[in-house]
């Protein structure tokens, strides 16, 4: 369902089937809708068989990096000599993205079930779900659902009488985008500042509390029960583009669009269908100018690039950007691109944890140079300055927040250079007081 709008015939509703249906929130309501079949089935399988099934489905991480989920699980040690942990990343803070929120608000048991299956598959008895502090409503819904799952015996000492212990603990964040980065999240869970860690060691070797850990996104885990119930072949078959991108994907569409919301599509669906048919196209009398397809951390696409792209991991790369978190930010011809790129740079400057010089200095200086341009004091040399800064910020830091700031800046200069020049030459009035 194109929540909060009615479902569109071109959507493939799997995860979003019960968005907006309050009856699906309770344990009994979920069971009536076929819920917990996946967990029951999983508990009768071996750990290895579950990992193989998920590998065969082609499921890739929905948190941003698109790493194959089954493969990630297979990195966890086979023998459980010390505690293993599953961490569910519900920190959803990437500008443009609001899909995990709807999964938790409407189908909390889908997530709990996915967490329980994944925990069992990686040899873990405990899953922490790290929910961003601002998500007050999802927190309430999830808390109630976890309580019900324990009461019904789906969680606890012996999940569904299997003799296997599975605990789910909700953990509340407190406002920090960087805690969405998996190693920052692990530090935060340990009661520390959320600074990302240098890798290696990778989480599967030494993660939260120094133990083998797997971190997965909410949407990734919510897809797992469906794969177990309906089979890897079915999931793999949900594919219109190329076989490397399978299944359905929730796309959060926002910005200058008639019907903002979450749309669930089969991988490989043309972006044009999403923008014009499902989400209703531009506002009356307007045309699209730019689309940021994967949350704010990916390169900006022009309207033409977006309209030609297929929505899957490779399809978006082929048109110069990345699928990221699938938060699609749509900007029409009224948008001041320089101002919005500045606003994004300011976001990254605010959220940098400041461990790495390139990121701390780079995000701050990028913001300042953009402010100079917006105040009408920019010079031609500022293009090179911004590009040099971006170069220094890419591929050189502990995590990719720094690279994420560079992405909109570099693509913005490449694709919307004349808008920067208009500020420099004075043909556009300053939109900010001189700094």
Instruction: Based on the shown chain and the rule CB under 8 A, indicate whether residue 172 belongs to the binding site for another protein.
Output: yes
How many angstroms separate the CA atoms of 39 and 37, rounded? 6
Strands (E), 258-326: 261-266, 269-270, 288-292, 301-302, 310-311
388 binds, among another protein, ligand SF4, ligand FMN, none (CB under 5 to 8 A by kind): none
Answer for which of 28, 32, 48, 136 binds another protein (CB under 8 A) is 136
Question: Least separation, in Å, of the C-beta of 222 and ligand FMN?
Answer: 10
- Cis amide bond preceding 106, omega within 30: no
Q: Which residues of 96-120 are buried (b: 16+ CB within 10 A; e: fewer)?
A: bbbbbbbbbbbbbbbbbbbbbbbbb
Answer for which of 274, 356, 406, 409 binds ligand SF4 (CB under 6 A) is 356
Q: Based on the number of CB atoms within 10 Å of its own CB, is 391 exposed (0-12), middle (13-18) or buried (19 or more)?
A: middle
Tell me, residue by residue from 32 to 71, as one string, x for binding to ligand SF4 by CB under 6 A and - for no binding.
Answer: ----------------------------------------
Query: Nearest 5°: CA angle at 413, between 407 and 417?
Result: 160
Which residues within the stretch 386-425 sit at the binding site for ligand SF4 (CB under 6 A)? 397-399, 401-402
How many angstroms separate the CA atoms of 153 and 173, rounded? 27
360 binds, among another protein, ligand FMN, ligand SF4, none (CB under 5 to 8 A by kind): ligand SF4
Tokens of 23: 């009856």
CB closer to ligand FMN, 117 vs 400: 400
Tokens of 376: 């009408």
DSSP state of 300: P
Answer for which of 5, 33, 360, 368 binds ligand SF4 (CB under 6 A) is 360
Instruction: Based on the shown chain and the rule CB under 8 A, indicate whether residue 286 belongs to the binding site for another protein.
Output: no
95 binds, among ligand FMN, ligand SF4, another protein, none (CB under 5 to 8 A by kind): another protein
CB closer to another protein, 160 vs 177: 177
Measured CA distances, 396 to 198, 309, 359, 369, 401 (Å): 12, 30, 9, 21, 11
Which residues within the stretch 214-273 sit at the binding site for another protein (CB under 8 A)? 252-256, 260-262
201 binds, among another protein, ligand SF4, ligand FMN, none (CB under 5 to 8 A by kind): none
* Contact criterion met (CB below 8 Å) for 283 and 332: yes
Which residues of this chain interact with ligand SF4, rule CB under 6 A? 178, 196, 352-356, 359-360, 397-399, 401-402
Which residues of this chain interact with another protein, rule CB under 8 A? 4, 83, 92-98, 100-101, 132-137, 167, 169, 171-177, 188-194, 209, 252-256, 260-262, 296, 327, 329, 331, 335, 340, 343-344, 347, 350-351, 353
């Amino acid at each position: 369902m194109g929540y909060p709008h009615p479902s569109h015939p071109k959507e493939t509703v799997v995860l979003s089937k019960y968005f907006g249906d309050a009856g699906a929130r309770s344990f009994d309501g979920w069971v009536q809708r076929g819920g917990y079949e996946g967990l029951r089935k999983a508990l009768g399988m071996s750990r290895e068989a579950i990992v193989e099934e998920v590998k065969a489905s082609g499921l890739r991480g929905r948190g941003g990096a698109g790493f194959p989920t089954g493969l990630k699980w297979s990195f966890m040690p086979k023998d459980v000599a010390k505690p293993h942990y599953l961490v569910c990343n519900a920190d959803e803070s990437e500008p443009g993205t609001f899909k995990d929120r709807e999964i938790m608000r409407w189908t909390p048991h889908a997530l709990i079930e996915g967490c329980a299956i994944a925990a069992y598959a990686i040899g873990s008895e405990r899953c922490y779900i790290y929910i961003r502090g601002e998500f007050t409503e999802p927190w309430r819904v999830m808390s109630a659902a976890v309580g019900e799952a324990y009461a019904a015996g789906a969680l606890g000492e012996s999940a569904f009488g299997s003799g296997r212990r599975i605990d789910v603990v909700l953990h509340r964040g407190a406002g920090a985008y960087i805690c969405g980065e998996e190693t920052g999240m692990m530090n935060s869970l340990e009661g520390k500042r959320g600074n990302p860690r240098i890798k290696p060691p990778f989480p599967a070797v030494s993660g939260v509390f120094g133990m083998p850990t797997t971190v997965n996104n909410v949407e990734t885990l919510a897809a797992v029960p469906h794969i177990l119930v309906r089979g890897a072949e079915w999931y793999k078959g949900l594919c219109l583009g190329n076989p490397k991108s399978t299944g359905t994907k929730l796309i959060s569409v926002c910005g200058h669009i008639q019907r903002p919301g979450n749309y669930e599509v089969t991988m490989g669906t043309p972006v044009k269908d999403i923008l014009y048919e499902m989400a209703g196209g531009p506002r009356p009398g307007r045309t699209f100018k730019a689309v940021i397809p994967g949350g704010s951390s990916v390169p900006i696409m022009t309207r033409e690039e977006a309209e030609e792209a297929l929505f899957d991991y490779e399809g978006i790369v082929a048109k110069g950007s990345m699928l990221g978190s699938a938060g699609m930010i749509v900007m029409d011809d009224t948008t001041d691109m320089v101002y919005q790129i500045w606003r994004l740079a300011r976001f990254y400057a605010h959220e940098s944890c400041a461990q790495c010089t390139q990121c701390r200095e780079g995000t701050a200086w990028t913001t300042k140079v953009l402010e100079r341009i917006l105040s009408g004091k920019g010079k031609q040399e500022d293009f090179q300055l911004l590009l040099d800064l971006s170069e220094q910020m890419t591929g050189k830091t502990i995590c990719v927040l720094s690279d994420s700031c560079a992405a909109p800046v570099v693509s913005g200069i490449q694709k919307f250079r004349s808008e920067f020049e208009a500020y420099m030459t004075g043909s556009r009035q300053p939109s900010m007081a001189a700094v």
